[in-house]
Structure 1
């Protein structure tokens, strides 16, 4: 993230501005989860989207018209967030539903993903006589949503949550990773990164050219695993001979991304 990010906001609500800032600072956790979602055979996320601040100049007043709208099918290259608009603009005329969006990280205003909590499988009589409903998917992130929920009455919050069909939890205690309280180590390393380590070693042995392959932006697999914050994967790549000094088309090394996204656990292993 830039040292002096610009926040595009419609108004002067300091708490909403703080929500935008927190969303930007923690977006790396959204992307970490989303990047693993793309590798899953069976999807786990029931919701996955990012809110962007869109703006254009009002031809009459010359002031900015700002609308915060959601995009999905998210991609992230370490600098820019990309996806497709899923909201219909109210006033903006330069963008419409389905348009492809590519903005710097400092123009997002929120992110949200949701996962249905794992439950113990019921069998026999316990299943037959159980009256408990399936749990709602639990929401992670959603900083602007939680700010708005904090301004609602209990009845309004209940109606709001039912409309979303999500469990937003306590607006004063926003979680950013799955099972954050039960397994605080998940803040450091995604469990799939740890669990897939042996498979990743085999993958690189079978496909050694992946170490030097670059995409259209010049990102190697080491850049991508660093951007996603995957320590185990980064360690495997370095052991396999990945060049930590390779730069992207924009001139950034994996270490640059680790520092930029504040993945503190990756910095020591990427330093020469």
Structure 2
């Protein structure tokens, strides 16, 4: 490949990567929704659930910081901050180490990826790389991961969305659990209005996970839609920030 062609190729790849970061941030709500429901399952369904973070380190003598994008696992999310454990051992950075607990804003992530039954969801940056591979190289890449990454031009975000587009609106487990949820909240009305040490109510957490069924029940039972977290966020604020458009009218 000629030098000028290499320059064009890498410029295009960098642009695609930047676009991948934006898409990953915009669809993180689906990642968190699935992680939320995984925590409710008796039998785990996820092969993996990872978030990619860019880490930086200023090095004397360099004009720009060293940057490494690495994966974190064991994810928690409060609607604003993502927390997890670093899965990778850095190649060059010395200011972080495998096993460190990491907290970042949603706007700082570069990717997320889920795998259920070896099928992947998200993985935007990986799909950028796969799109530039030959078919044989792509097969070798996928075999190394042991996962089905599918079509790099058709990135899935929600479990079984191809079988039922309604799954893009609400998780199937959310709808299936309507009766047990109603029984639980009706029998535990203190839970409906209680807030934790961070001011987070059940209405906040169900909104963050995009669960309209639970949100409807909580509001019916007297949950305060104007309740604010310690950082001043209402459930509506989270619905807007996470682009849960099906919840915005309910919470206005």
TM superposition score normalised by structure 1: 0.87
Match of 2:173 among 177, 192, 208: 192
Q: Deviations over 1:56-105 (max 9, x none)?
A: 21222242211100000000111111100000011111110110000000
Q: Which residue of 1 aligns with 2:39?
A: 38
Consecutive unaligned residues in structure 2, runs of 5 or more: 1-9
Q: Which residue of 1 aligns with 2:98?
A: 97
Task: Name segments (4+ residues, structure 1) moved above 6 Å.
Answer: none
Asked if 1:147 corresponds to 2:148, the answer is: no
TM superposition score normalised by structure 2: 0.93
Distance 2:81 2:140 in 1: 35
Mapping of 1:100-139 within 5 angstroms?
100-116=101-117, 137-139=118-120
Partner of 1:47: helix, strand, or coil? Answer: strand
Asked whether the 8 Å contact 2:207–2:247 carries over to 1, the reply is yes
Consecutive unaligned residues in structure 1, runs of 5 or more: 1-9, 117-136
Distance 2:168 2:154 in 1: 15
Distance 2:25 2:172 in 1: 23
Q: Which residue of 1 aligns with 2:188?
A: 207
Partner of 2:110: helix, strand, or coil? Answer: strand
Mapping of 1:1-272 within 5 angstroms?
13-116=14-117, 137-271=118-252
**Following TM superposition, by how much is the alpha carbon of 1:209 offset from its aligned partner in structure 2, in angstroms?**
1.3
Partner of 1:20: helix, strand, or coil? Answer: helix
Q: Which residue of 1 aligns with 2:3?
A: none
Distance 2:43 2:225 in 1: 32
Equivalent pairs, count: 242
Partner of 1:15: helix, strand, or coil? Answer: helix
Asked whether the 8 Å contact 2:193–2:222 carries over to 1, the reply is no
Does 52-61 or 90-99 show the bigger shift?
A: 52-61
Higher helix share: 2
